[in-house]
Chains A and B, each alone.
Chain A
Amino acid sequence: MSELLTKTALQLADMMAAGEITSVELTRASLDRIKAHNPTINAFLHVDEEGALATAREVDEKRAAGENLGRLAGIPIAIKDNLVIRGMPTTCGSKMLEGWLPPYDATVITKIKNAGMPIVGKTNMDEFAMGSSTEFSAYGSTKNPWDTERIPGGSGGGSAAAVSAFMVPLALGSDTGGSIRQPGSVTGTVGVKPTYGAVSRYGLIAMASSLDQVGPVARTVADAAALQEVISGHDELDSTSLDVEVPAFEDIVAQVGADRVKGLKIGIVEQLSADGFEPGVEAEFEATVKRLEDAGAEVVNVSLPSFEYALSAYYLIMPAEVSSNMARFDGMRFGLRAEPETGPVTAERVMAESRGQGFGAEVKRRIILGTHVLSSGNYDAYYGAAQKVRTLVQRDLDEAFSKVDVLVTPTAPTTAFKFGEKIDDPMAMYLNDLATIPANLAGTPGLSVPCGLSEGMPVGFQILAPAYRDDLMYEVAAAVEASAGEIAGSCPAKEWENN
């Protein structure tokens, strides 16, 4: 592998600024590695070699001409396949959108383009972002670079694996119930779900609008911070977009010293540190907490009773929104159109046939569940009750954050499980999101940073901060990272690398 690809995005940016490397060199290295190993890892659904190199050349020329460029100009990036890019195939991991070329750019894509970052391609994902293992992709599962018999997490397994396998230094994901953080946890990468509204959702193909959030995937906290700076900011095209100033995340992280956590109050969520967590995960989590304590943090136990019901509430609210958001995929205007083999070709029958063929099992399951949840006889009992729980989770978190600065949990209950282990057991799969879901329900930020290994597989440490305090979350994450040592960088590219 090219030596370049093992470096962090910020190191590469510095090298480019110093004239030591060019973006074309780096982008070509990235494309070469994707070409060599994507057949094994299956992180990418589409690679745009020409487009990426064109951007790289343009950046190099501008740099040579002495133009002032953005911090990450020239750094290749991979994009989860649910973010639309004008003219680039976007499938959401579904047969339903096969062949569709979006006519417009998502706002984050406009920002990435303006920042001069070559987009190398679109990454694999669970169909329409529904799943925790990328096994629900219509285009085959992505393999975990640490062990190709294991899942890379979901739904953003493609983005996490691409970063973890050194194919790209940075990627974008989307997190509805943990789809950036849980893949981060099981692939040893840093995954961030920013405060709801901090990053525009315009052009993100919605799974559950009130929970979805675009965020960075990186190998280091500082890289993630730099990328969040690029993609954040108010967007008039997204009415839920926050109109607040974007903090200088990268500077904040850069200034974190060993004593940063000194005096910070760190809360351990009682409900998320006991049963159901794999012993190895629990051990690494506790060791990390201990290191924070040694560095001067005050660790307190916090009880958040509503967290017990958060998962249930999530699995009512999310499918309700899914059932409505999926309605536009009807075979009428874009993507797959399937006509019935016999009988009259009516709009209703084309729609039914297209959906029957286009959607996979998990998407259908959630559409049916959501339709049921919203139906007039059940609305109050299910959707109404779930919204009340959502309010309670928000209230519990508010209260907790009046007592502690941040909350910490293991990101996922286990390390990467093996393919097929949970695919036929939806409930077991849903339990993976236990610790990540509360942040989506409350709209608060959450970050997963690698904190150690359990039987050779990475363990993620989750930091939850109050809304708008992404900066604080990054600071604590930087401290955790410093104490744990670089884990992502040690991904033992095994048998697949030698092929």
Chain B
Amino acid sequence: MTELLEFSEVVERFDPVLGIEVHVELGTKTKMFDGAPNAFGDEPNTLVTPTSLGMPGSLPVVNRTAVEYAIKIGLALNCSIAEMCRFARKNYFYPDLTKNYQTSQSDEPIAFDGWVDVELEDGTVVRVDIERAHMEEDAGKNSHVGGSGRIQGAEYSLVDYNRAGVPLVEIVTRPIPNTGGRAPEVAAAYVRTLRDIFRALQVSEARMERGNVRADINLSLRDTPESPLGTRTETKNVNSFTAIEQAVTYEMRRQGKVLSDGGTITQETRHFHDEDGSTSSGREKSDADDYRYFPEPDLVPVAPSREWVEDIRQSLPELPNVKRRRLQAEWEISNLELRDLVNAQALDIVEATVKAGATPAAARKWWTGVIARYCNEQGIELDQAPVTPADVAELDGLVQSGKLNDKLARQALDGTLAGEGTPTEVVAKRGLEIVSDDSALEKAVDDAMAANPDVVEKIRGGKVQAAGALVGAVMKTTRGQADAGKVREIIMSRFE
């Protein structure tokens, strides 16, 4: 591995300048420029038409829903929406690029000049300026067979064009300076903020692990914020929050080392490696890289009417940041407590649960605890969990009314997650209800005291805290269904 400078030293000696390009795949029914289905996971080369295959004679037609989604994103990022914008051809060769040019937007993007506020874990807000958001099409996917799985040394390569032509919006930031030692955190928080916005807007499933959201990280170091910008590298296609944080950290430390040793940074694209969080040199990329952009002659300009844009603006949902602030005030809980609900989807579900009658604290606890862990294990999203906000509200109701204690509620929830029915049904089936019948408890306490004479001795000798062991014993014999408070009361009454 390349030698790296300590992170603290990089921060001490340099001013990092960060720029991020985020690609998001839009969740439209069909592709950007043709009627092929926009779906994930089908057999290779089945979701194609002559146009998405770049067949001779085929022509593109702009997907109106993709334009609508791009406008939504632009508005959510406080951008101006172009009155007229054009597509351009970006000419370059790559085997998974069907036409050997990508239909994109160059100097006339659909949205430009915006900003978004990014909240860090400690509540610090960093405003990120957005230069532009433009529409383009995705490429297909190469897989290299034989050798290491990379193109070098492969026996042959296969190309799957199912993804070719999937609509993308690329969001480009202006440089995010003055991040000091927090560049890695800012980068991850920024992409997380965008991911939450995409989900709230329902323009994309925004699943990082599927590559629905990918970030290219531009990073350079300079001596002071007053110095001219340094040479940057672009780390391509980073697609998890951890990876983003690691990639920025690694590049800061690597560039820091090169510069402190008196070396120069090569302008290049770099690959990120999940295994060890490092980056390695990809293609050298000079500013002379010539894509020979020119207006796409096969497409007429896109001119979204002002009425349409206003309609879209009116229809925008409450954005995650705003919602978080509102709920924080309404529920009177701290920012720290809300911090778990970093993703917009969780926030929506918790809000729905509260609306269904749960307390904010309980709703938050169940969704970010047991249910989130379950989803993690199953590899599914929160909204795919086999439990609804109404179920969770019902569960909380059972706790509130004293029918369940925390431990029984957990068991009831496990039952619901296992498909045994609503919490009430699970309670009935498993006989989970709390035992508060006095005579039954009196008897259980007697049995426990008889079985634990040493503990009884200790309590008699003044060690009141030993009563806990008796409570535990009672809970055990009642399989957790006893009302723990009541048990303690009865025990204490025996020593009065």
Contact = CB atoms under 8 A, between A and B. Distances in A.
Interface residues of A, number: 45
A82 B56 CA distance: 9
Interface in A351-395: 351, 371, 374-376, 379, 383
A205 B91 contact: no
Given A84-B56, A205-B56, A239 B290 contact: no
A236 interface: yes
B59 interface: yes
Contacts of B262: none
Given A210-B297, A324-B89, A328-B100, A102 B57 contact: yes
Given A239-B300, A324-B89, A375 B292 contact: yes
A416 interface: no
Interface string A314-333: 00000011011001111011
A201 B93 contact: no
Interface string B58-78: 111110000000000000000
B225 interface: no
B99 interface: yes
A334 B294 contact: no
A334 B91 contact: no
A323 B292 CA distance: 10
A247 B276 CA distance: 68
Given A328-B99, A330-B100, A239 B57 contact: no
A334 B57 contact: no
B93 A327 contact: yes
B56 A239 contact: no
B53 A376 contact: no
B348 to A, nearest CB: 37
A384 to B, nearest CB: 10
Main secondary structure of the interface of A (DSSP, over half): loop
B55 interface: yes
Interface of A: 82-84, 90, 92, 97, 100, 102-104, 106, 201-206, 208-210, 236-240, 320-321, 323-324, 327-330, 332-334, 347-348, 351, 371, 374-376, 379, 383
Interface of B: 50, 53-62, 89, 91, 93, 95, 98-101, 157, 159, 288, 290, 292-294, 297-300
B486 to A, nearest CB: 73
A14 B101 CA distance: 49
A376 B292 contact: yes
Contact of A103 (B55, B61, B288, B292): B55
A274 to B, nearest CB: 33
Contacts of B58: 104, 202-203
Nearest to A330: B100
B297 A327 contact: no
A104 B298 contact: no
Contacts of B292: 323-324, 371, 374-376, 379
Contacts of A321: 294, 297
A84 B57 contact: yes
B57 A327 contact: no
A104 B56 contact: no
B294 A320 contact: yes
A323 B93 CA distance: 12
Contacts of B93: 327, 330, 348, 351
Most buried by B among A82, A102, A333, A348: A333
A106 B55 CA distance: 11
A171 B298 CA distance: 25
Nearest to A332: B95
B55 A239 contact: no
Given A239-B299, A328-B56, A379-B292, 15 more contacts: A90-B56, A202-B59, A206-B56, A237-B61, A239-B62, A239-B298, A240-B299, A323-B91, A327-B100, A328-B98, A328-B100, A330-B100, A347-B157, A376-B288, A383-B294
B298 A97 contact: no
- Nearest 5 interchain pairs by C-beta: A327-B100, A210-B297, A374-B292, A209-B297, A203-B57
11 contacts: A100-B56, A201-B59, A209-B298, A210-B297, A239-B60, A239-B298, A324-B292, A324-B294, A332-B159, A334-B55, A375-B292
A374 B61 CA distance: 24
Contacts of A320: 294
